[in-house]
């Protein structure tokens, strides 16, 4: 858990139309919010998460981070790791409902496309309970189609940071992740050896 200064205590949620009484929320907040960071691979999504974490910590808020257990790139099974090697300690989860165990007022979940639509309701329960929830992930698959849970998450979001990478072919703004390895699986864990960013013109969707 990432914190700055003295830790804040949390209290049970109050009953009411705008909170979820089944989860915990910090008494100094009345409304939660959902922030979504999305874009192709190599767009700086995890870097943006680490920056938001530092901003929240500077405000005196504890931040608790989670990531899918299946994402073990860069020897980072228990860390959110940027492509340039920066790290943030995170709890690996196999089930999206595990984020409901969070006790911090701010919760970060990276690589949510690994968790699919199952992550939407746990995130929204935390938001209804008064938490700041920040999620990040790849919003289009290797065929260029929307990646769950982003259609639902973008509808619910209070803030969206839509990031672009630099196209590996033409250096234009890239919104796609071009898969470089042969596989029919929708999720293939990999880095620069398996993917590169492409713009709409240079992108070659898988058959």
Residue 111 is among the residues annotated as catalytic for this protein: yes
Among 111, 121, 196, 204, the one annotated catalytic: 111
SS (H, E, C) 20-67: CCCCEECCCCCCCEEEEEEECCCCCHHHHHHHHHHHHHHCCCCEEEEE
Determine the Cα–Cα distance for residues 67 and 111; give it in Å rounded to an integer.
7
Q: DSSP string covering 163-207, please?
A: --EE-TTT-SEE-EEEE-S----S----STTTEEEE-TTT-----
Other Cβ atoms less than 10 A from the Cβ of 72: the count is 14
Which residues are part of the catalytic machinery?
Answer: 111
């Amino acid at each position: 858990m990432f914190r700055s200064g003295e830790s804040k205590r949390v209290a049970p949620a109050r009953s009411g139309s705008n909170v979820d009484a089944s989860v915990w929320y910090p008494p100094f907040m009345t409304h939660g919010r959902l922030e979504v960071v999305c874009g192709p691979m190599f767009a700086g999504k995890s870097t943006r998460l680490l920056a938001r974490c530092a901003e929240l910590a500077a405000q005196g808020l504890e931040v608790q981070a989670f990531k899918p257990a299946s994402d073990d790139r860069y020897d980072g099974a228990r860390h959110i790791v940027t492509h340039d090697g920066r790290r943030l300690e995170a709890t690996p989860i196999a089930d999206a409902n595990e984020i409901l165990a969070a006790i911090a007022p701010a919760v970060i979940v990276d690589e949510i496309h690994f968790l699919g639509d199952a992550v939407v309701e746990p995130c929204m329960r935390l938001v209804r309970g008064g938490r700041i929830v920040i999620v990040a992930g790849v919003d289009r698959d290797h065929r260029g189609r929307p990646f769950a849970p982003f259609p639902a998450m973008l509808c619910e979001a209070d803030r969206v940071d839509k990031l672009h990478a630099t196209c590996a072919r033409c250096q234009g703004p890239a919104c796609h992740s071009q898969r470089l390895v042969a596989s029919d699986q929708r999720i293939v864990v990999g880095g620069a050896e398996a993917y590169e960013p492409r713009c709409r013109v240079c992108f070659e969707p898988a058959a």
